[in-house]
Structure 1
């Protein structure tokens, strides 16, 4: 991904969430699957950490 593509993905994600097809439609030559894979590779650990924290909170209640 180019720096411009990454920037657009971040901005679009803030606006539309994980609607990968919509985001991919704004980036010529990229598929929804590529965009989603890129996002997961960059942010997968962040999401996994949040899930663990939520599970801990709900498990201790």
Structure 2
């Protein structure tokens, strides 16, 4: 988070820096008809979309 607070202008964050951001990353998803549900902490979040990645490992791509 400190990296973001000290940001001046535009900067590309490294994978390590991205991983330190709270809430960063993808969650596994499941397809329920036209709904894609990401299984994040606090319960699933469902919206119209499709699961991407192998076995839904890439998260949801919402319309």
Normalising by the residue count of structure 1, what TM-score does the alignment of the two structures yield? 0.27
Task: Specify which structure has the bigger relative contact order, considering alpha-carbon pairs within 8 angstroms and separated by 6 or more residues.
Answer: 2
Higher helix share: 1
TM-score where L is the length of structure 2: 0.27
Q: Which has the higher strand share?
A: 2
